Amino acid sequence: MPIADCGFRDGPLGLGAEMLVQTGPTLLVNIGVDPEYKYSENGSTFNSDITQVKALIDTGATFSCIDDDLAQSLDLPLVDRRVFCLLTGKYELNGFLAHIVIPALSFFQHGIFYGFPNDSHELYQAVLGRTFLQHMMLDYDGRTGSVRIARQPSDLDAALQHGTAASGGTIRP
């Protein structure tokens, strides 16, 4: 079962609990689109356009999404526009066809990711919402700043082997 640390420890930059409050749990992800991708039992690889982007794990977000400026700079295909109610009001957001690969968890999520207006480029360029978290177990200890996330093999892995799943799954070595 792949497990990743996505919180903070006490160190020279401060207390782990305080850093978690300021930044939130984050993972490094790869973002791109690979129209040639096909699942293979012998191994699946993606051509990711950008690597090592910080992604915020957000239990309050329904969907996973990508920084709009980043999505446009990667020339991700624009496939939808939809109105969303965010904390600061209603926005019409672009929907981009993309994948987000989480190497630490051997996991990918493929589909439409909406671009969000991002004033915090230095903190994160993607948000992993509940559509991502539905495949995970999250252990959050706010007292220490420790956050761990784990992916258990599931029925989704079997569906991928049979080519019946399109929204997320395991990356085969």
Q: What is the pLDDT of residue 103?
A: 86
Q: What is the pLDDT of residue 165?
A: 40
What CATH code is carried by the domain that includes residue 136?
2.40.70.10
**Domain containing residue 95:** 3-35+43-170
Q: How many domains does the chain have?
A: 1
Q: What is the pLDDT of residue 6?
A: 94
Q: What is the pLDDT of residue 44?
A: 52
Q: Structure tokens of 4? A: 């990743």
Q: Splitting the chain (173 residues) into consecutive groups of 10 residues, what average pLDDT does each group show?
A: 91 94 94 67 55 90 91 92 84 91 86 84 86 92 95 58 43 36
| pTM score | 0.79
Per-residue b/e over 15-30, b at no fewer than 16 CB within 10 Å? ebbebbeebbbbbebb
